Amino acid sequence: MSYEKGDVAEVRTTKTKSPFGGQYEKAYYGADRIVNTPSKEPYAGYICYFDPSSIKLKLNPNVFTAEEIANAKVYAVCGVRSSNSFGSTEGYRKAQNLSSSEFDFSSNYAYLNRPVDEAPFDALSSSSDKLGMEIGKKFAVNTLNGTQRGVFGRGDDEYLIEPQALRGGTSKHMMPAYEVTVTVVVEHNGKPIVFSRNYLPEYKSINTADVVKFTSDNLLKKKPANYADDVYKQQTNHILDIGKWMQRTLNPITGTSLYGSINALGITWGHVFDEPTEGFPYFIDGDINTKWCSSIECRDAGISVIRPFFSSFEDKAVTPGDDRYVWALEFKTNFPISPTGFTLTTANDAGVFSERNPVHMAIFVANGGYGNGWKRIDNHNQTLNLPGQNKVTKSYSLTEVGNAKNSQYFRIEIFHTVDDDESECMQIGEFQFTYPE
């Protein structure tokens, strides 16, 4: 944090990193607008998944009679080879009358700065056998149509299983050069016969709302005959995890500004700028190594980052009759959720600055739609009791959980720190909702 005199706010930039080192830049001009400009390297990713029920098996009855076959098992894996760059299979796809790999995605498939060990980035997460493939592997970045692209996921130096696509720039999206390897094991007259072949998949879009409605029961009903139970269950669990992740990802909308004023006897004599890499989006970025750290001056300045296209941001507590200035963050989920609790993780240097730990926090929802009033779902007044230790996660139950049903828009308010009189800052590492099993 730095203190500077003058009336003009400097341009400060936050940089959200992707697994390829690209970043999404959020430039704060003063306190009244945000300008987003993507970097040249890949920064945003898109989730793709393979539906195992799309594989169909037909055996020639003139070769394999029902009496001769004890069982048949089908194994299918979707992946990308390092030798296949973006667009490299376009000619083959056209020859087979398959759709182009240039594909429009719903923005709900996008992600920024999420941990690579989460379910959407690990197609083998629910399997006990990882096949010797490591998480977080990535291939070299390709330049395609003037923009940088790459893929990463679980794999080795030659092959990635169901990897996620990363892109930079603003051009039309392109799928990686996916291939599906189908292996069929037929027990014929007491002897196993193995068939294996690679295919180019047909790309299909699916409404993201449908993904989060998937359940184990309706996916199991689609299980093809003779599909290996353990493999199908593994892939089904992966699809369900993707749906939960898409539904529960927290997307920041706005919060307490990085810019505040220092007043003495009613005279503004200087300005304070919080560190842009410690702004409110880092409270819900999925990374306990980052933190939200904000000064009391910014909290009490009455200035906020104004949202484009939305109503004005509340700098004061939204509880009727409470006019205190608060540190606040507003965010949304991709689809309505029903949390029952939450976790807080202390900052990466809470052991040194324990006086900055929050002690009073409240959470609100806008069930009538964004900007239609806030209803409280949690109020931990002086009861957070966060430890003075680095990166410690503590769990809490919502105090008014009945108000948190099928909600999509949320607001967090932080009122006090351990030593509100002496501490110049509030800081906290990470917030995540928790859900019933």
**pLDDT tens digits for the chain (437 residues)?**
333 333 333 344 455 667 777 776 655 444 444 445 556 778 778 888 887 777 777 788 888 887 887 777 778 889 999 999 888 999 999 999 999 988 776 666 677 666 777 777 888 887 888 888 998 898 888 888 777 888 988 999 999 998 888 877 666 678 889 999 988 888 888 889 999 999 999 888 777 777 777 888 888 888 877 677 887 888 888 888 888 888 888 888 888 877 776 665 555 556 777 777 788 888 988 888 889 999 988 888 765 444 333 445 667 899 888 888 899 999 998 889 999 999 999 999 999 999 999 999 999 999 887 877 899 999 999 999 999 999 999 999 999 999 999 999 999 999 999 988 778 899 999 999 999 97
DSSP state of 325: B
DSSP state of 222: T
Q: Which of 167, 249, 269 has its CA nearest to residue 208? A: 249
Tokens of 134: 């490591």
pTM for the full model?
0.80
CA dist., res. 132 & res. 115, Å (int): 21
CA dist., res. 389 & res. 398, Å (int): 24
DSSP state of 234: H
- The confidence score (pLDDT) of residue 429 equals 96
Give the number of other CB atoms < 10 A from CB of residue 184.
18
Tokens of 309: 């296209």
CATH 2.60.120.260 in the chain: give the residue spans. 249-434
Strands 110-111 and 44-46: antiparallel
Of the candidate CATH numbers 3.50.50.60, 2.60.120.260, 3.30.70.1230, 3.10.20.30, the domain formed by 249-434 belongs to: 2.60.120.260
- The confidence score (pLDDT) of residue 31 equals 42
- The confidence score (pLDDT) of residue 294 equals 92
DSSP state of 139: P
DSSP 3-state of 156 = coil
Residue type at position 161: I
Give the number of other CB atoms < 10 A from CB of residue 391.
16
